[in-house]
């Protein structure tokens, strides 16, 4: 399993998926992160829309396809917020978007792997119509998360 986390500084989860500068990806084996990598989030030029929307990665001709392909080897992406279009694109690409109010990457990944991370559907731009588990908790990857030393700015 691979988990991607959107971030601007490799320590905290970005408030908005579409404005994040990086992805930190964690390779998980036997319920533990065994490798992590930081990937710059590449945004293609946006055509159409206003100048402010282009600077923020929004507007017509949005960069959704490019962003999804950057993490198409991941099973899950953790974020603190995203628009409904990106949410749907990730689901279509078989990447489970998991929205949380936890800001610290280490805490969020550990809680996700232990099945303790709360899913926050209100952090999607609009209702997505996708039914999530009754508990609203992480449904994948139960197990203890240990990682020796720092990894991509993480203490996992």
What does each of the 156 residues of the chain score in pLDDT, given as a tens digit?
A: 999 999 999 999 999 898 899 999 999 999 999 999 999 988 765 555 444 443 444 433 344 456 799 999 999 999 999 999 999 999 999 999 999 999 999 999 999 999 999 999 899 984 334 433 433 445 443 332 333 333 444 445
Distance separating alpha carbons of residues 113 and 86, to the nearest angstrom? 23
- For domain 2-123, give the CATH number: 3.30.420.130
In the three-class reduction of DSSP (H, G, I as helix; E, B as strand; rest coil), residue 26 is classed as strand
Tokens standing for 142?
Answer: 């139960």
pTM of the full structure: 0.72
Domain boundaries, the chain: 2-123
């Amino acid at each position: 399993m691979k988990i991607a986390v959107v971030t601007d500084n490799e320590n905290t989860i970005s408030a908005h998926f579409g404005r994040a500068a990086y992805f930190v990806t964690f390779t998980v084996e036997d319920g533990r992160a065994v490798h992590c990598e930081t990937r710059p989030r590449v945004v293609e030029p946006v055509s159409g829309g206003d100048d402010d929307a282009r600077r923020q990665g929004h507007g017509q001709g949005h960069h959704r396809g490019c962003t999804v392909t950057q993490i198409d080897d991941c099973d899950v992406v953790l974020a603190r917020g995203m628009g409904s279009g990106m949410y749907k694109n990730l689901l279509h690409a078989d990447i489970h978007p998991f929205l949380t109010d936890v800001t610290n990457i280490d805490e969020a990944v550990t809680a996700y792997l232990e099945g303790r991370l709360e899913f926050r559907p209100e952090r999607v731009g609009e209702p997505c119509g996708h039914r999530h588990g009754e508990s609203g908790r992480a449904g994948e990857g139960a197990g203890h998360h240990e990682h020796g030393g720092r990894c991509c700015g993480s203490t996992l």
